[in-house]
Amino acid sequence: MDGEPDLYIGGVWRRASDGGTRDIANPADGSIAAVVDEATPDDARDAVAAARTAFDDGAWRATPVAERAALLDRIADLLQRDKEALAGLETRDTGKTLAESRIDIDDVTSVFRYYAELVGVSSDRLVDVGDPAVISRIVREPIGVCVLIAPWNYPLLQMSWKVAPALGAGCTMVAKPSEVTPLSTIAFTHLLEEAGVPPGVVNLVQGSGATLGDALTDTDDVDFISFTGGLATGKRISAVAAEHVTKAAVELGGKNPHIVFADAEWESSVDQVLTGVFLHSGQVCSAGTRLIVEESIADDFVAAVAARAEKIRMGDGMDPASETGPLVSEQHRAKVEAYVQLGLSEGAVLVTGGARPDDPALAKGSFYLPTIFDRCDRTMRIVQEETFGPILTVERFTDEAEAIALGNDTEYGLAAGVRTSDPARGERVVRALRHGTVWLNDFGYYTAAAEWGGFGKSGNGRELGPTGLAEYQEIKHIWHNTAPKPAGWFTG
């Protein structure tokens, strides 16, 4: 990027071993935002070896917890110092608005601050084994070499959920951002170096997952793989990891229901259904893509959401007037368009959108209009599959049991929303939904201290919160006999 080498391996910035580079497109206008070095599988193997060496030499994992915590705080300080530059890179790379990117950088900072505090809180415990001479302790130790693979929709945010606890736990790591959106992670790695992360502790390779994936995962040198991305890739990585008995946590997609009862507060419901699905043009794993609305209000509710959807101002994310940006690439827009055609062929009723915007100012970007399909049902692929675009499907229900059944009728289970003014019903429905996060009369919020992850095919791990740190730790039981004596089993 900017003529500097972009691969960071063993504390050295270097170019790809075959000299390969990749053009990074700005999805708002198709221009080239940057040219970055693209790693080869050999480079990825070098990065794993560097992380292995840095872990095995023991210096980093022996660093006092207070020093690791101070490092996390220093990283948080640098993130805030460079917030505008990082946000700008994220916007040019993903297309999201600058306002969203700024929130992302603040959230990334919060994650580092949170783990800076948490790593100092010991979760070791003593176990009473019934013998006063024995001190039995459960302690946590770093899991080892971690491979951290992030998606393109929240490049730095998703990577921070991995890097912060991994560093705090005393692990070493290889980070691989999406090939489509590496810019913020490259800049962030420079900050890690500046903050004083020792050589080899964090290594960075970027390039296509298909090319680098096996070098990063099909190896005995890695102890933990933390992956966020799509279901198909998650299945593949899990299978490869299983061959090596490597622990793999996969955070995958979602097809998230937003259930609106007739007694829900109207204005906030319309607004949050709209925001829940169309923020970042629907490229959000927890987007509320399935509106499940009570029949008695459905016509008016859908009309109200559609009226607001038609007013969403699309544009270049760098323009403060833009409320949402483009899809991440032409290739991704083609996928979204194919889903719209599928919805039409399945008999869903198009309420609004279903096309590219006709504004000539947007013609060079991969924009797509907010789209709503009414009269959808659970048999439709557009209701069941993650489109990862600005597409809202509408299903209707007549009673609470049906609302719950529809809400749970997905192979995923990442997030859900419930809107009602009846607290007892709210609690019943929230508890009945099989999703990792459930919002009651709210949608989309999360915090660094609360676990994030999915039920079902939305994944098998948890990020954030204490569990997000525990993922990067092994548990060791230390049995210490302070008055050793023979076992006395064998008498000869």
Active site residues: 251
Q: How far is Cα 263 from Cα 444, in angstroms, rounded to an integer?
A: 21
Task: Considering the complex, state which of residue 150 and residue 306 has its C-beta at the smaller distance from ligand NAP.
Answer: 150
User: Do 312 and 278 meet the contact criterion of CB atoms below 8 Å apart?
Assistant: yes
CA angle (40, 43, 47) in 5-degree steps: 140
Range 454-483, binding ligand NAP (CB under 6 A) = 454, 458-459
Q: Compute the least distance from the CB of residue 250 to ligand NAP, in Å.
A: 8
Task: Considering the complex, state which of residue 72 and residue 252 has its C-beta at the smaller distance from ligand NAP.
Answer: 252
Task: Considering the complex, state which of residue 250 and residue 394 has its C-beta at the smaller distance from ligand NAP.
Answer: 250
Task: Considering the complex, state which of residue 82 and residue 386 has its C-beta at the smaller distance from ligand NAP.
Answer: 386
Q: Compute the least distance from the CB of residue 214 to ligand NAP, in Å.
A: 7
Q: Compute the least distance from the CB of residue 444 to ligand NAP, in Å.
A: 13
CA angle (345, 347, 351) in 5-degree steps: 105
Residue with tokens 């691969």: 7
Q: How far is Cα 343 from Cα 373, in angstroms, rounded to an integer?
A: 8
Question: Is position 333 an interface residue for ligand NAP (rule: CB under 6 A)?
Answer: no
Question: Is position 188 an interface residue for ligand NAP (rule: CB under 6 A)?
Answer: no
Encode 305-340: b = buried (16+ Cβ within 10 Å), e = exposed: bbebbeebebbbbbeeebebbbbbbeebbeebbebb
Question: Is position 76 an interface residue for ligand NAP (rule: CB under 6 A)?
Answer: no
Stretch that binds ligand NAP, among 14-22, 82-90, 105-113, 246-254 (CB under 6 A): 246-254
Q: Compute the least distance from the CB of residue 308 to ligand NAP, in Å.
A: 24
Nearest Cα residue to 192 out of 208, 172, 207, 209: 172
Task: Considering the complex, state which of residue 151 and residue 468 has its C-beta at the smaller distance from ligand NAP.
Answer: 151
Question: Is position 6 an interface residue for ligand NAP (rule: CB under 6 A)?
Answer: no
Question: Is position 152 an interface residue for ligand NAP (rule: CB under 6 A)?
Answer: yes
- The dihedrals phi and psi of 172, each to the nearest 5 degrees, come to -115, 165
Nearest Cα residue to 6 out of 44, 41, 33, 38: 38
Mapped onto helix, strand or coil, the DSSP state of residue 290 is strand
Question: Is position 184 an interface residue for ligand NAP (rule: CB under 6 A)?
Answer: no
CA angle (189, 239, 152) in 5-degree steps: 35
Q: Is 465 left (phi over 0), alpha (psi -120 to 50) or beta?
A: left
Length of the chain: 492
Stretch that binds ligand NAP, among 174-182, 195-203, 371-379, 426-434 (CB under 6 A): 174-182
Q: How many CB atoms lie within 10 A of CB 110?
A: 18
Q: Compute the least distance from the CB of residue 364 to ligand NAP, in Å.
A: 23
Task: Considering the complex, state which of residue 209 and residue 276 has its C-beta at the smaller distance from ligand NAP.
Answer: 209
Stretch that binds ligand NAP, among 18-26, 176-184, 274-282, 474-482 (CB under 6 A): 176-184
Question: Is position 252 an interface residue for ligand NAP (rule: CB under 6 A)?
Answer: yes
Q: How far is Cα 48 from Cα 55, in angstroms, rounded to an integer?
A: 10
Task: Considering the complex, state which of residue 283 and residue 352 has its C-beta at the smaller distance from ligand NAP.
Answer: 283
Q: Compute the least distance from the CB of residue 477 to ligand NAP, in Å.
A: 32
Q: Compute the least distance from the CB of residue 391 to ligand NAP, in Å.
A: 14
Task: Considering the complex, state which of residue 43 and residue 251 has its C-beta at the smaller distance from ligand NAP.
Answer: 251
Q: How far is Cα 82 from Cα 165, in angstroms, rounded to an integer?
A: 21
Q: How many CB atoms lie within 10 A of CB 462?
A: 19
Q: Compute the least distance from the CB of residue 184 to ligand NAP, in Å.
A: 13
Range 201-220, binding ligand NAP (CB under 6 A) = 208-210, 213, 217
User: Do 205 and 353 meet the contact criterion of CB atoms below 8 Å apart?
Assistant: no
Range 406-445, binding ligand NAP (CB under 6 A) = 414
CA torsion through residues 218, 223, 228, 230, sign: positive
Question: Is position 38 an interface residue for ligand NAP (rule: CB under 6 A)?
Answer: no
Q: Compute the least distance from the CB of residue 158 to ligand NAP, in Å.
A: 5
Nearest Cα residue to 102 out of 413, 288, 317, 404: 317
Task: Considering the complex, state which of residue 158 and residue 366 has its C-beta at the smaller distance from ligand NAP.
Answer: 158
Q: How far is Cα 410 from Cα 314, in angstroms, rounded to an integer?
A: 30
Q: Compute the least distance from the CB of residue 131 to ligand NAP, in Å.
A: 45
Range 266-305, binding ligand NAP (CB under 6 A) = 285
Range 153-172, binding ligand NAP (CB under 6 A) = 153-154, 158
Range 219-238, binding ligand NAP (CB under 6 A) = 228-230, 233, 236-237
Mapped onto helix, strand or coil, the DSSP state of residue 194 is helix
Mapped onto helix, strand or coil, the DSSP state of residue 257 is strand
Question: Is position 256 an interface residue for ligand NAP (rule: CB under 6 A)?
Answer: no
Question: Is position 94 an interface residue for ligand NAP (rule: CB under 6 A)?
Answer: no
Mapped to the 3 state alphabet, what secondary structure does 57-124 carry? CCCCCCCCHHHHHHHHHHHHHHHHHCHHHHHHHHHHHHCCCHHHHHHHHHHHHHHHHHHHHHCCCCCC
Question: Is position 10 an interface residue for ligand NAP (rule: CB under 6 A)?
Answer: no
Give me the residues that bind ligand NAP (CB under 6 A), please.
149-154, 158, 176, 178-180, 208-210, 213, 217, 228-230, 233, 236-237, 251-254, 285, 386, 388, 414, 454, 458-459
